[in-house]
Amino acid sequence: MVERKNAMPHPIDVHVGLRMREARAAKGLSQEKLANKLGISFQQVQKYEKGANRIGSSRLWSIAQALDVPVSFFFEEMERGVKERGTELLPPRTIHLAKQIDSIENDDIRNQVLNLIKVCAGND
**pTM, entire model:** 0.62
What CATH number is given to the structural domain containing 53?
1.10.260.40
Tell me the HSE value of 90 on the side-chain side, using a 13 A CA sphere.
Answer: 8
Type and span of the H or E element at 16 = helix 11-26
In this structure, the answer to whether residues 32 and 18 fall within a common structural domain is yes
Verify that 37 and 73 share a domain, yes or no: yes
Q: What CA–CA distance (Å, rounded) separates 61 from 98?
A: 27
Domain count, the chain: 2
Both 76 and 100 in one domain: the answer is no
Mean of per-residue pLDDT scores for the chain:
83
Residues 55-94 pLDDT 10s: 999 999 999 999 999 999 998 877 665 554 333 444 466 6
- Whether 35 shows a pLDDT value over 90: the answer reads yes
